[in-house]
Chains A and B, each alone.
Chain A
Amino acid sequence: MATVTQACSPTSRSEPLRARVAFREVSKRFPGVAALRNVSFEVAAGSCHALVGENGAGKSTLGRILAGLHRPDEGSVVLDGRVCRFSSPGDAQRYGVGLVHQELSYCPNLTVAENLCLGSLPRRGVWLDRAAMKARARRFLEMVGATCDADDELGSLPNGQIQLAQIASVLAAGARVLVLDEPTSSLSLAEARRLEELVGQLRRQGTTFLYVSHRMEEIFRVCDTVTVLRDGQHAATRPLAATTPDELVRLMIGRPLTAYFPTHAERQPGRERLRVESASSPGRFSEVSFSVRAGEVLGVAGLVGSGRSEVAQALFGMDSRMSGRVFVDGEPVSIRGPQQALSLGIGLVTEDRKRLGIVPQMTCGENLTLSALDCPGGRGFWARAARCPWCPRRPECLRLWDWLRLGQERSWIRDYFARLRVRAASPDVPIATLSGGNQQKIVLAKCLARRCRVLVLDEPTRGVDVGAKAEIHRLIDELAADGQAVMMISSELPEVLHLSTRILVMRRGRVAGVMGRTEATQEKLMQLMAGRVGETPQDLALSPVVGDGAQSAGEGASAETSHAN
C-alpha cells in the first residue's frame, strides 16, 4: 500500500495531540469561485464540531476535502498530528475518515448488507462470503440502531433508515472521524432525533464528528464547538456554551450588505396574477398558500429541502400528486405539464440550469426561442392550418405552418440580446460556451419570448459570477417594474431582501411566514427559516402555522410504527 504510506507523514513533535483534525491554511478554488481561502481551525478528539455558514460559504467543500473527495489547492489537513494528502475517499477511509453526504449516495439496487460492506467485501477464496457479510452488516446496523434488515434493498427504504445505514457503512469501514453533511435535511423529525441520539452515543465511544448543518436548534443540542465560515473564510470558532444563536447568525452574515443591488424601482403592484390555495403534495410540501401580483417580486426564502423548489416545480405541472387550487388571473386552472403552464403564461427558470434549462448543443439563439415556437393562436390542428397565414397574432409568432420564420426569429433574438445585455460572440455560438450568467439571461429570455407574465425564478443567480449577478438583479427589478409578476426563490438572503416586495418563508414544506420588504431583516428571516421556537418576533405577519408541531409529531409517530417490526 504505497499510496497509504505516502498519504500521511508525521509533522513536528510539537503538534498538540488532542486535536484529532486540524485544517491549516486550506484554500480551494473552483472555476470562477474561490470556495475556501486560508481556513485554519482544529477539531478536538471526541468532540462534535459544528460547521455553519450561509449557502456557498464553503462548508461542504471543507467536509469533502477532509474526506478525500477534493484536494486542497493550498494548505493541508492534519490528522492525529500527521499531514495527510488523500487522493481518494478510499484513501481517507483507510485513515478512519468517513463522509455521509448531503445527498444520500449509495447503490439503491444493492441490499443493505452489500452497500455496507461495499468497500471491503468479505471473501472465501474467490467467492463472496455472504454469511460473513450479513453478520457484519447486522452488527453495525444494530450498533447504529437501524431497524432495517440486512437483506432489504437499500433503495426501497425510507430516508432515515438509508441515512443510518450509510453511517453504519462508514463505521464498518473503520471511521473514527465522521463528516456529516446536512445529515437531517431529508429526515423526518423523529428520524432526526434518532440520529442525534446516535451521534451522542458514538461520541461517548470516542468518535469525532464534523457536523455540517443549517439548523440552529440541532447544533445547540448535538455539538459542543462551532466554526463559522463566511464567504469561504474562517469567521470564528467558539465553544457552543459561550455563544448564542443570534451571535452565530450575525457571524454567518457578517459582511456589510453589498452595494451592488439596484435601487428599488418604483413598483405599483397591479392585479393578482397567480394565486395558490392550500397546495399540498405528499412528502414535499403541504398547505402552501400565496399570491403574486403583477409588478411585484415575491421572494421565497427557506433552507434547502424546505419545499421551495418543489412548489415551483408543481406550479409548472411537474408534480402529478399536487392537490389544492391554483388561479391564474383569477381563473381556476389545473396545470398538467410545462406546455400548459407556459400557455397560461407561467414561466419557470429552474435551479438546475445545466440539466433542465439549456440544450447545450444548440446555439444561444435557438435556445432563446425554443419555447416561443408554439403557435400563439391556440389549439385545433385544422383550424390552425387553415388560418395560419391570416392569423391576427402574426406579429407575435415565429412560424408559418411548420416553417420557421427565420428573419423574424433573428430580429427577436437581436432584441432580447440587447434588452438583456447578453454577451456572446454571436447568437450562433453554442450556448455551452457562454458563462453561467449569460446562459441564465438566455434562459430568462426564453420565458420572456414565450410572453410569460408570471415568472418563477428558482435560484436565478446560482453559479453566476458577481458582475452578471448584479445585472440579473437589475433585470428582475426592471421586469417587475414592467408589470411582470415575479416569484423568486433564493438561498441568498441579501438578494431576497433587496429585490422582493414581499417575502415568503418556507420551513419543512410549510409556509412559516410572510413579511413585507420593510419589516424583514436577515436575522428575522433566518429565525423563521431555521425555526427557532418561542422567539418569533411579534411584529411578523405570520400566516397560520397551526398544526406544524402536530404534523411533525404525526410524521414521527408514523415513521416509528412503520419501522417497529
Chain B
Amino acid sequence: MPTEPGNVSPTGVTPPQPGARRRFKETGLLGVVVALGLLLSVFGGSMQIRDRGAGEPRTVNKFLRADNLDKLAKNTSFFAIMAVGATLVIIAGGIDLSVGSIYCLAAVCGAMFLHRFGPQGAGAGASPAWVIPAAILLCLGVGTSCGLLNGLGVVLLRVHPFVITLGTMAIYRGIAFVMTRAQAYTHFPEQFTDGLIRYEVGANLYPVPMTLMVAVTVLAALYLKLTVTGRHIFAVGGNEEAARYSGLPVERVKLKVYAFSGLMAGVAATIMLGYYGAASSDAGKGYELDVIAAAVIGGASLSGGRGSALGALLGALIIQTIGNGIIILEIDQNYSQIIIGAVIVVAVVLDRVNTVLRDRRLANAARLEPGIDPRTPI
C-alpha cells in the first residue's frame, strides 16, 4: 500500500517466516528425490563385474558406468523437456495429449528440411550457417504453432482440453504421415548432428541433450516462480472462476501454456533429430502418456494449481531410471510396463498422503493461532 504509507502501523506485522514456504513447496519433490536415490542405490547395489574394453579386462558398475549414465540422461532429456511443458499445462488446469504428435510433426518437418539441404538432398551445398538455425527455428515454430492451435481450440471453442488435444493428437500425426508418405528421412548436414547435438566429449559422452534439459527446466522453474505469468498460471489452474473475478487474462494464460507445451515438444524434436539423425511419422508414438506420467510423478495435480518444473524433470528421470534398471537387472522386458505403471500409482498416492498430512498440520496451526494473538483489540 505504498500510496498511503502513513496508515500502516508496523507494530501489527506478522513476522515473515521464510522457511515455511520452502518446506511447503519442496516436500513433494523431496519424496520424489528420496525415491530416486533409493532406486539408484538399489541398482548400484546390484553391481556386476564384467570384462570390457579392447583386450584388458575391467570391472565397472553396470549402472554407474559413464556411457550408461549418459544414455540415461539422453533418454530422459526428451521426456523431461516435454514433461516441463506438460506440467505448465497441467498446472493451468488443462491437459495436452498431443505432445507426442507435435513432437513427431516438428521432427518430420525439420527432417524434411534438413534432408533437402543435406548431403544427398536437392539443396546440397547450401551454407550450414543458415540451414541449421533455420531448421531449428522450423522445429520450434511448428511445435509452437501446433500448441497455439490447441490453445485456440480450448479457448475459443470452449471444449474440454482432453477432447481438443485428443483430436489434434490424431490430426498432427496424420499430417506427419501424409507429408512423409510413411518414409523415414535421413542424411542431415553433419554440422547439425555430429557438430551440434551429438557434440562429443570423451568417449561416447554427449552432453548437449542433458544440458538443454537442465537449462529448460531451470528457465521454466524461474518462469513459474518469478514472473507474473507464472503466478497467473497457478491461479488459473487453482480456481479459474476466482482468477477471472480477480481480473486475470484467463484466456491469454491458457494460450500461453499450450503454446509453451508445443514449443517444448519442438525442442525435444530438435534434439531427437540431431541425436539420431533421422525421423519418420512413427516418432514419439505413445510419448504423451509417459510425459504426463512424468509430470504427475513430479507432483503436478491433474485438477490444476499444483506442480513444478523440477518435479517434472525428476519424474521423467524416475521413469527412465526404472526402465534402465529393468534392462540392467535383466528383468523380463515384458514386466517393465507393469512396474512403471505401479510406480506411477504409488508416487501419486504418496504425494496425496503427504498433502493430506501437510494440510492437517497447517490447519491445526491455523486453528491455534487466533487464540494466542494478543495484538487485536476488538
A403 in contact with B239 (CB, 8 Å) = no
A425 within 8 A of B: yes
With A414-B16, A419-B7, A449-B1 in contact, is A350–B229 under 8 Å at CB? no
Nearest CB in chain B to that of A425: its residue: B365
Classify chain A: how many residues form its interface, as a range: 35 or more
B8 in contact with A424 (CB, 8 Å) = no
Nearest CB in chain B to that of A350: its residue: B245
Which of A54-62, A366-374, A511-519, A527-535 is the interface stretch? A366-374
User: Nearest chain B CB to A221's CB is how many angstroms away?
Assistant: 40
Tell me the complex Cα distance, A252–B369, Å.
Answer: 35
Q: Give chain A interface residues in 410-443, CB to chain B under 8 Å.
A: 410, 412, 414-419, 421-430, 432-435
Size of the B side of the interface (Cβ < 8 Å), in residues, is 53
A149 within 8 A of B: no
With A316-B245, A402-B228 in contact, is A360–B234 under 8 Å at CB? no
Which of A174-182, A230-238, A351-359, A536-544 is the interface stretch? A351-359
A421 cross-chain contacts in B, Cβ below 8 A: 12, 375-376
Which of B17-25, B122-130, B170-178, B290-298 is the interface stretch? B17-25
With A359-B238, A403-B226, A418-B12 in contact, is A423–B246 under 8 Å at CB? no
A416 in contact with B1 (CB, 8 Å) = yes
Interface majority SS on B: helix, strand, loop or mixed? Answer: helix
User: Nearest chain A CB to B356's CB is how many angstroms away?
Assistant: 13
A521 within 8 A of B: no
B249 within 8 A of A: yes
User: Nearest chain A CB to B263's CB is how many angstroms away?
Assistant: 16
Tell me the complex Cα distance, A3–B28, Å.
Answer: 44
Cβ contact of B370, chosen from A371, A406, A412, A423, cutoff 8 A:
A423
A191 within 8 A of B: no
A362 in contact with B376 (CB, 8 Å) = no
A363 within 8 A of B: yes
B227 in contact with A433 (CB, 8 Å) = no
A356 in contact with B362 (CB, 8 Å) = no
B9 within 8 A of A: yes
Cβ contact of A430, chosen from B10, B229, B362, B376, cutoff 8 A:
B362
B33 within 8 A of A: no
B134 within 8 A of A: no
A355 cross-chain contacts in B, Cβ below 8 A: 239, 241-242
Given A360-B238, A402-B227, A415-B8, output 20 extra A-B contacts at Cβ < 8 Å: A359-B234, A359-B238, A361-B301, A362-B235, A362-B305, A366-B231, A371-B248, A398-B228, A414-B14, A415-B1, A418-B10, A419-B7, A421-B375, A424-B369, A425-B20, A425-B369, A428-B21, A430-B359, A446-B246, A482-B7
Binding site for B on A (CB under 8 A): 260, 316, 318, 337-339, 341-343, 348, 350, 355-363, 366, 370-371, 373-374, 395-396, 398-399, 402-404, 406, 410, 412, 414-419, 421-430, 432-435, 446, 448-451, 467, 470-471, 474, 482
